[in-house]
Structure 1
């Protein structure tokens, strides 16, 4: 197990956000509603929950060889290192960079499902780049390391003029990813509110308190007024829908495999966690009927379950997306001061 201490013109300064407003494609929601809901209602509760012991540890094997090429390409910088967890330790959530590439299975139709898949991968990449820009190594000397917001780095990745118009699209895909994972949190509530589900860490009082915080968070997620309608996905015949779902599953598996080729251990760790978190969100959305059919008896056999790894990755991955949305507010403020 590992732990992780998990210059421009004024016109360009506003270019990143001038097109990131209003409604989102394939959704009934708008950017402003998401900003207000996340930053004011959900983000504070989520950060409190992710500080609990249950969500601060994620088991992962970082020593698996790259299945696609032989050169390890390990990062030589100290900031890339990940320290193995002793029996009693913690990790703070910080993602710096990863490479959301994949090979192998491709989504097989020119349709809403294919568009959704690429928007999800793009949104994940945008989230990573926002974190990289928001916690940037600004100064490194013998006395201290200074981390902070790098506005120029952010503009290089998202400014419309500097990205040939692609930057605002990337940010809109971040909001799309947010809606997908938010919908999964709302959908999984019936499973996690069962008396038999426990956030077990061996500290019974704290475990009960943290489960209460978790359920409060999921209730907030459920209260969002303009959820993504997942019924628009895989709405064709059953055989085609089953094939597309299998394509999704295999493709995300390949994304996780290619993370074994990323040299930076921190990037590899967070890449695997966020990929599994998104995969878990899709698993929940694809299993709506099984969740709705959960037996009321706590002793009955469940037809749908999530492992601890899946739950931890789901909440931490959404935590990264939620933080990204919150950081956009900070960059808006910083960019407004650029002259």
Structure 2
């Protein structure tokens, strides 16, 4: 996701100021192909991006009831209320866990892999999300560190909802509001990234 956001940022800077010395010499298409293309430095970047996006969609679908309850009238501002309600009305969030929808394919694969190795695999997954959060403390840029921590928290929350401690998931009603907010924010970031990557893939 970060690589796509970097390329998108380069493109936006070039449009805003074609003479910007930091980006005017960069080729957006070449940067995209280098960072995210099948022949680039990370050939599976887009596959991983879509896989993670489906995990986030599945987690938000499971937390749909909680989100609707927390975004009720008077609980948040009207603009956010309308935005969340409109987003959750999307058919993507109406699928059930047992459906064959691609949204759940990633969740089922993750679950099968996690429970295959028993508690150790589940514990390892939890440790990795904690390690990811700690790594963000090493980021020098305050803005980057903030966005990184939100993303790490969002991914951690998705895994918590989908897997929980024993592989059967966590009740979304027991998740802290800050974690739910991080999940929604991270899904939004991934949605923007997927949209940008789709645009780049369609362009020659």
TM-score by length of 2: 0.74
Does residue 19 of structure 2 align to residue 150 of structure 1? Answer: no
Encode CA deviations 1:192-235: one digit per residue, 9 max, x unaligned: 34x4x346876665565455335424x53233822222541333
CA distance in 2, matches of 1:257, 1:322: 25
CA distance in 1, matches of 2:160, 2:4: 26
Does residue 106 of structure 2 align to residue 234 of structure 1? Answer: no
**Counterparts in 2 of 1:57-136, with a 5 A limit?**
127-136=1-10
Report the secondary structure of 1:135's partner residue: helix
Picking from 89, 104, 129, the partner of 1:252 is 129
Encode CA deviations 1:219-266: one digit per residue, 9 max, x unaligned: 532338222225413334xxx533322222222111111111111222
CA root-mean-square deviation: 3.2
C-alpha change, 1:277 and 1:200, in structure 2 (3 Å) is: farther
C-alpha change, 1:186 and 1:203, in structure 2 (3 Å) is: closer
Note the C-alpha offset of 1:130.
0.6
Encode CA deviations 1:114-151: one digit per residue, 9 max, x unaligned: xxxxxxxxxxxxx1101100121334769xx99x9822
Q: Are 1:199 and 1:207, in contact at CA under 8 Å, matched by a contact in 2?
A: no
CA distance in 2, matches of 1:234, 1:161: 30
Where does residue 319 of structure 1 map in the other structure? 188
Q: Are 2:154 and 2:183, in contact at CA under 8 Å, matched by a contact in 1?
A: yes
CA distance in 2, matches of 1:327, 1:189: 26
CA distance in 1, matches of 2:27, 2:154: 26
Q: Are 1:199 and 1:210, in contact at CA under 8 Å, matched by a contact in 2?
A: no
CA distance in 2, matches of 1:315, 1:255: 19
Where does residue 63 of structure 2 map in the other structure? 188
CA distance in 2, matches of 1:198, 1:162: 42
Structure 1: give runs of 5+ residues left out of the alignment: 1-126, 292-302
Report the secondary structure of 1:279's partner residue: helix
Report the secondary structure of 1:262's partner residue: coil
Where does residue 222 of structure 1 map in the other structure? 94
Report the secondary structure of 1:235's partner residue: helix
C-alpha change, 1:215 and 1:268, in structure 2 (3 Å) is: same
Structure 2: give runs of 5+ residues left out of the alignment: none
Note the C-alpha offset of 1:155.
1.9
- Name whichever structure is richer in helix by fraction: 2
Picking from 204, 212, 216, the partner of 2:85 is 212
C-alpha change, 1:155 and 1:187, in structure 2 (3 Å) is: same
Report the secondary structure of 1:233's partner residue: helix
CA distance in 2, matches of 1:200, 1:306: 21
C-alpha change, 1:245 and 1:198, in structure 2 (3 Å) is: same
Picking from 149, 154, 168, the partner of 1:272 is 149
C-alpha change, 1:330 and 1:206, in structure 2 (3 Å) is: closer
Q: Which has the higher contact order (CA 8 A, sep 6+)?
A: 1
Larger radius of gyration: 1
